[in-house]
Structure 1
Amino acid sequence: MSSSQAVRDAAKQLVSVLERFPAQRIRHIVSFKDSQIERFKRVAGLSVDGGSGNNKKASIEEIKDIINRTSGPLGLQKDLLKKMQAALPDDELSLQSIEEQIKALNSLTSNKYKNYYDVGDKLYKPAGNPQYYQRILDEIEGKKKETFMSAFRTVVFGK
Protein backbone atom coordinates (compact mmCIF):
# COMPACT_ATOMS: atom_id res chain seq x y z
CA MET A 1 0.00 0.00 0.00
CA SER A 2 1.45 3.34 -1.01
CA SER A 3 1.88 6.09 1.54
CA SER A 4 -0.72 8.31 -0.13
CA GLN A 5 -3.25 5.45 -0.02
CA ALA A 6 -2.42 4.87 3.68
CA VAL A 7 -2.95 8.58 4.39
CA ARG A 8 -6.26 8.48 2.49
CA ASP A 9 -7.44 5.44 4.49
CA ALA A 10 -6.38 7.05 7.78
CA ALA A 11 -8.24 10.23 6.79
CA LYS A 12 -11.38 8.14 6.12
CA GLN A 13 -11.02 6.64 9.59
CA LEU A 14 -10.59 10.13 11.06
CA VAL A 15 -13.75 11.33 9.29
CA SER A 16 -15.70 8.44 10.84
CA VAL A 17 -14.38 9.36 14.29
CA LEU A 18 -15.27 13.01 13.70
CA GLU A 19 -18.82 12.06 12.70
CA ARG A 20 -19.23 10.39 16.11
CA PHE A 21 -17.99 13.57 17.82
CA PRO A 22 -20.86 15.18 19.77
CA ALA A 23 -22.52 18.33 18.52
CA GLN A 24 -21.61 21.58 20.21
CA ARG A 25 -24.06 22.88 22.79
CA ILE A 26 -23.56 26.51 21.84
CA ARG A 27 -24.06 27.45 18.19
CA HIS A 28 -21.01 29.13 16.67
CA ILE A 29 -20.40 30.69 13.30
CA VAL A 30 -18.04 27.84 12.43
CA SER A 31 -18.36 24.40 13.95
CA PHE A 32 -15.15 22.51 14.80
CA LYS A 33 -16.75 19.22 13.84
CA ASP A 34 -18.07 20.42 10.47
CA SER A 35 -14.87 22.22 9.47
CA GLN A 36 -12.68 19.23 10.31
CA ILE A 37 -14.99 16.78 8.55
CA GLU A 38 -14.85 18.95 5.43
CA ARG A 39 -11.05 19.22 5.66
CA PHE A 40 -10.41 15.50 6.06
CA LYS A 41 -12.99 14.46 3.48
CA ARG A 42 -10.87 16.34 0.93
CA VAL A 43 -7.76 14.50 2.15
CA ALA A 44 -9.59 11.16 2.04
CA GLY A 45 -10.88 11.83 -1.45
CA LEU A 46 -14.53 11.70 -0.34
CA SER A 47 -17.15 14.05 -1.72
CA VAL A 48 -17.57 17.18 0.38
CA ASP A 49 -21.24 18.03 0.96
CA GLY A 50 -21.66 21.78 1.01
CA GLY A 51 -25.20 21.58 2.34
CA SER A 52 -27.62 23.60 0.23
CA GLY A 53 -26.46 24.40 -3.30
CA ASN A 54 -27.46 28.08 -3.21
CA ASN A 55 -25.19 28.81 -0.23
CA LYS A 56 -21.90 27.70 -1.85
CA LYS A 57 -18.69 29.10 -0.43
CA ALA A 58 -15.31 29.04 -2.11
CA SER A 59 -13.14 26.12 -1.07
CA ILE A 60 -9.52 26.44 0.02
CA GLU A 61 -8.40 24.99 -3.31
CA GLU A 62 -10.40 27.61 -5.25
CA ILE A 63 -8.92 30.41 -3.15
CA LYS A 64 -5.39 29.05 -3.66
CA ASP A 65 -6.07 28.82 -7.40
CA ILE A 66 -7.24 32.45 -7.56
CA ILE A 67 -4.18 33.64 -5.65
CA ASN A 68 -1.68 31.59 -7.69
CA ARG A 69 -3.30 32.23 -11.08
CA THR A 70 -2.68 35.95 -11.32
CA SER A 71 -0.10 38.37 -10.02
CA GLY A 72 -2.65 40.60 -8.28
CA PRO A 73 -6.15 39.15 -8.06
CA LEU A 74 -8.97 41.42 -7.02
CA GLY A 75 -6.64 44.41 -6.97
CA LEU A 76 -4.62 43.16 -3.99
CA GLN A 77 -1.19 44.54 -3.31
CA LYS A 78 1.72 42.12 -3.62
CA ASP A 79 2.70 42.26 0.07
CA LEU A 80 -0.89 41.49 1.10
CA LEU A 81 -0.95 38.69 -1.45
CA LYS A 82 2.19 37.15 0.07
CA LYS A 83 0.65 37.37 3.56
CA MET A 84 -2.47 35.59 2.32
CA GLN A 85 -0.42 32.83 0.70
CA ALA A 86 1.52 32.34 3.93
CA ALA A 87 -1.70 32.16 5.95
CA LEU A 88 -3.39 29.51 3.79
CA PRO A 89 -3.04 26.05 5.33
CA ASP A 90 -1.10 23.34 3.56
CA ASP A 91 -2.63 19.92 4.09
CA GLU A 92 0.63 18.02 3.86
CA LEU A 93 -0.44 15.39 6.35
CA SER A 94 1.52 12.29 7.23
CA LEU A 95 0.11 8.99 8.36
CA GLN A 96 1.59 9.52 11.82
CA SER A 97 -0.03 12.95 12.29
CA ILE A 98 -3.45 11.62 11.28
CA GLU A 99 -3.12 8.64 13.63
CA GLU A 100 -2.21 11.02 16.47
CA GLN A 101 -5.33 13.06 15.72
CA ILE A 102 -7.47 9.91 15.71
CA LYS A 103 -6.03 8.91 19.08
CA ALA A 104 -6.68 12.40 20.52
CA LEU A 105 -10.28 12.47 19.24
CA ASN A 106 -10.96 9.00 20.65
CA SER A 107 -9.62 10.18 24.02
CA LEU A 108 -11.92 13.21 23.92
CA THR A 109 -15.03 11.28 22.91
CA SER A 110 -14.47 8.68 25.62
CA ASN A 111 -14.01 11.40 28.30
CA LYS A 112 -10.67 9.88 29.23
CA TYR A 113 -9.27 13.03 30.83
CA LYS A 114 -12.52 14.05 32.51
CA ASN A 115 -12.59 10.68 34.25
CA TYR A 116 -8.85 10.64 34.98
CA TYR A 117 -8.77 14.14 36.51
CA ASP A 118 -12.14 13.90 38.21
CA VAL A 119 -12.94 16.82 40.48
CA GLY A 120 -15.27 16.46 43.40
CA ASP A 121 -18.36 18.30 44.53
CA LYS A 122 -16.14 20.84 46.27
CA LEU A 123 -15.52 22.54 42.91
CA TYR A 124 -18.86 21.82 41.26
CA LYS A 125 -20.89 23.03 44.24
CA PRO A 126 -18.89 25.59 46.22
CA ALA A 127 -20.07 26.16 49.78
CA GLY A 128 -20.69 29.88 49.24
CA ASN A 129 -22.98 29.44 46.23
CA PRO A 130 -23.82 25.77 45.52
CA GLN A 131 -26.21 26.53 42.62
CA TYR A 132 -23.75 28.77 40.74
CA TYR A 133 -22.72 26.39 37.94
CA GLN A 134 -26.18 24.85 37.63
CA ARG A 135 -27.63 28.33 37.05
CA ILE A 136 -25.06 28.99 34.32
CA LEU A 137 -25.82 25.69 32.58
CA ASP A 138 -29.56 26.29 32.80
CA GLU A 139 -29.09 29.72 31.24
CA ILE A 140 -26.95 28.32 28.39
CA GLU A 141 -29.40 25.50 27.66
CA GLY A 142 -32.37 27.88 27.92
CA LYS A 143 -34.13 25.88 30.62
CA LYS A 144 -34.72 28.67 33.09
CA LYS A 145 -34.47 32.35 32.26
CA GLU A 146 -33.43 34.72 35.00
CA THR A 147 -35.36 37.93 35.33
CA PHE A 148 -33.66 41.23 35.88
CA MET A 149 -34.67 41.28 39.54
CA SER A 150 -33.48 37.74 40.26
CA ALA A 151 -30.15 38.51 38.56
CA PHE A 152 -29.82 41.71 40.59
CA ARG A 153 -30.61 39.80 43.79
CA THR A 154 -27.94 37.22 42.90
CA VAL A 155 -25.33 39.91 42.35
CA VAL A 156 -26.16 41.82 45.51
CA PHE A 157 -26.71 38.92 47.93
CA GLY A 158 -24.60 36.26 46.22
CA LYS A 159 -27.33 33.60 46.09
Structure 2
Amino acid sequence: MVITSLSPSGEPLHSQIENLNFKELPPLFENKAIERSVAPDFLSTIFQYLIHNKKRAEYIDPKRPELGVLVYWRTLAEWATKIYDYVNSSGQLGTILTIFELTNLDESAYPEELRNIEYNVLVRAIKNVLMKQGKAQILMSEDGTQIGGVKIV
Protein backbone atom coordinates (compact mmCIF):
# COMPACT_ATOMS: atom_id res chain seq x y z
CA MET A 1 0.00 0.00 0.00
CA VAL A 2 1.39 3.38 -0.94
CA ILE A 3 0.03 6.26 1.11
CA THR A 4 1.34 9.49 -0.35
CA SER A 5 -0.04 12.12 2.00
CA LEU A 6 -0.99 12.33 5.66
CA SER A 7 -2.93 14.75 7.80
CA PRO A 8 -1.05 16.46 10.66
CA SER A 9 -2.58 13.85 12.98
CA GLY A 10 -1.23 11.00 10.82
CA GLU A 11 -4.44 10.02 9.03
CA PRO A 12 -4.02 9.00 5.37
CA LEU A 13 -5.21 11.61 2.88
CA HIS A 14 -4.23 10.00 -0.43
CA SER A 15 -3.12 6.64 -1.72
CA GLN A 16 -2.20 5.49 -5.19
CA ILE A 17 -4.46 2.49 -4.64
CA GLU A 18 -7.80 3.38 -6.17
CA ASN A 19 -10.88 3.15 -3.97
CA LEU A 20 -8.87 2.34 -0.84
CA ASN A 21 -11.11 2.82 2.18
CA PHE A 22 -8.96 4.58 4.76
CA LYS A 23 -11.48 3.78 7.50
CA GLU A 24 -10.72 0.08 7.10
CA LEU A 25 -7.00 0.62 7.71
CA PRO A 26 -5.54 0.31 11.18
CA PRO A 27 -4.29 3.64 12.56
CA LEU A 28 -0.74 4.28 11.38
CA PHE A 29 0.52 5.77 14.62
CA GLU A 30 -1.48 3.73 17.11
CA ASN A 31 -1.28 0.15 18.35
CA LYS A 32 -4.56 -0.75 20.05
CA ALA A 33 -3.28 -4.20 21.09
CA ILE A 34 -0.83 -2.62 23.52
CA GLU A 35 -2.84 0.57 24.04
CA ARG A 36 -0.10 2.87 22.76
CA SER A 37 -0.07 5.73 20.33
CA VAL A 38 2.34 8.38 19.18
CA ALA A 39 1.89 11.67 21.02
CA PRO A 40 1.10 14.69 18.80
CA ASP A 41 4.42 16.36 19.68
CA PHE A 42 6.36 13.25 18.71
CA LEU A 43 4.38 12.89 15.48
CA SER A 44 5.31 16.47 14.66
CA THR A 45 8.95 15.57 15.37
CA ILE A 46 8.69 12.59 13.00
CA PHE A 47 7.30 14.83 10.24
CA GLN A 48 10.00 17.45 10.86
CA TYR A 49 12.69 14.77 10.63
CA LEU A 50 11.26 13.42 7.35
CA ILE A 51 10.99 16.95 5.94
CA HIS A 52 14.23 18.55 7.07
CA ASN A 53 16.69 15.69 7.66
CA LYS A 54 15.69 12.98 5.22
CA LYS A 55 14.02 15.14 2.52
CA ARG A 56 11.38 12.39 2.22
CA ALA A 57 8.40 14.62 2.98
CA GLU A 58 7.12 18.14 2.41
CA TYR A 59 4.13 20.09 3.59
CA ILE A 60 1.36 20.03 1.01
CA ASP A 61 1.38 23.81 1.38
CA PRO A 62 4.30 25.19 3.43
CA LYS A 63 2.20 28.26 4.30
CA ARG A 64 -0.57 26.03 5.64
CA PRO A 65 0.98 23.00 7.40
CA GLU A 66 -2.45 22.07 8.76
CA LEU A 67 -3.26 20.69 5.28
CA GLY A 68 -0.87 17.80 5.83
CA VAL A 69 2.34 16.27 4.57
CA LEU A 70 3.36 14.64 1.30
CA VAL A 71 5.33 11.45 1.96
CA TYR A 72 7.98 10.68 -0.64
CA TRP A 73 8.40 6.94 -1.02
CA ARG A 74 10.47 7.98 -4.00
CA THR A 75 12.38 11.24 -4.25
CA LEU A 76 11.11 13.90 -6.62
CA ALA A 77 14.06 13.12 -8.88
CA GLU A 78 13.04 9.44 -8.96
CA TRP A 79 9.44 10.39 -9.78
CA ALA A 80 10.67 12.74 -12.50
CA THR A 81 12.73 9.93 -14.03
CA LYS A 82 9.71 7.59 -14.00
CA ILE A 83 7.57 10.24 -15.71
CA TYR A 84 10.22 11.05 -18.30
CA ASP A 85 10.96 7.38 -19.01
CA TYR A 86 7.27 6.60 -19.55
CA VAL A 87 6.72 9.55 -21.89
CA ASN A 88 9.91 8.71 -23.80
CA SER A 89 9.20 4.97 -24.09
CA SER A 90 5.62 5.60 -25.22
CA GLY A 91 6.80 7.90 -28.02
CA GLN A 92 5.12 10.98 -26.59
CA LEU A 93 8.10 13.30 -26.17
CA GLY A 94 7.07 16.73 -27.40
CA THR A 95 3.36 15.92 -27.06
CA ILE A 96 1.15 17.93 -24.72
CA LEU A 97 -0.29 15.60 -22.10
CA THR A 98 -2.94 16.36 -19.50
CA ILE A 99 -2.50 15.61 -15.82
CA PHE A 100 -5.14 12.90 -16.27
CA GLU A 101 -3.01 11.25 -18.94
CA LEU A 102 -0.03 11.29 -16.59
CA THR A 103 -1.88 9.83 -13.60
CA ASN A 104 -5.04 7.95 -14.45
CA LEU A 105 -4.63 6.06 -17.69
CA ASP A 106 -5.97 2.54 -17.53
CA GLU A 107 -3.93 1.18 -20.40
CA SER A 108 -1.91 -1.97 -19.83
CA ALA A 109 1.26 -0.29 -21.12
CA TYR A 110 0.91 2.53 -18.57
CA PRO A 111 3.22 1.96 -15.59
CA GLU A 112 1.38 0.92 -12.43
CA GLU A 113 3.71 3.06 -10.30
CA LEU A 114 2.46 6.25 -11.99
CA ARG A 115 -1.24 5.49 -11.69
CA ASN A 116 -3.06 7.80 -9.31
CA ILE A 117 0.11 9.60 -8.29
CA GLU A 118 -0.72 12.45 -5.91
CA TYR A 119 -1.29 15.64 -7.90
CA ASN A 120 1.08 17.65 -5.70
CA VAL A 121 3.87 15.07 -6.07
CA LEU A 122 3.44 15.03 -9.86
CA VAL A 123 3.49 18.82 -10.07
CA ARG A 124 6.57 19.10 -7.86
CA ALA A 125 8.43 16.44 -9.84
CA ILE A 126 7.64 18.33 -13.04
CA LYS A 127 8.34 21.84 -11.74
CA ASN A 128 11.23 21.15 -9.36
CA VAL A 129 13.06 18.57 -11.45
CA LEU A 130 12.02 18.21 -15.09
CA MET A 131 11.54 21.94 -15.74
CA LYS A 132 14.86 22.77 -14.06
CA GLN A 133 16.53 20.16 -16.26
CA GLY A 134 14.92 21.73 -19.33
CA LYS A 135 12.92 18.54 -19.98
CA ALA A 136 9.41 19.88 -19.39
CA GLN A 137 7.15 22.81 -20.07
CA ILE A 138 3.78 23.42 -18.46
CA LEU A 139 0.64 25.05 -19.79
CA MET A 140 -1.62 26.57 -17.16
CA SER A 141 -5.42 26.30 -17.22
CA GLU A 142 -7.38 29.34 -18.39
CA ASP A 143 -7.91 30.56 -14.83
CA GLY A 144 -4.21 30.06 -14.07
CA THR A 145 -4.78 27.93 -10.97
CA GLN A 146 -3.91 24.47 -12.26
CA ILE A 147 -1.72 22.84 -14.83
CA GLY A 148 -3.70 22.33 -18.03
CA GLY A 149 -1.03 20.36 -19.85
CA VAL A 150 2.56 19.22 -19.73
CA LYS A 151 4.99 18.88 -22.58
CA ILE A 152 7.94 16.60 -21.86
CA VAL A 153 10.83 17.26 -24.26
TM-score, reference length from structure 2: 0.23
Larger Rg: 1
Higher normalized strand content (fraction of residues): 2
| More contact order relative to length (CA 8 Å, sep ≥ 6) | 1
- Bigger fraction of residues in helix: 1
TM-score of the pair, normalised by structure 1: 0.22
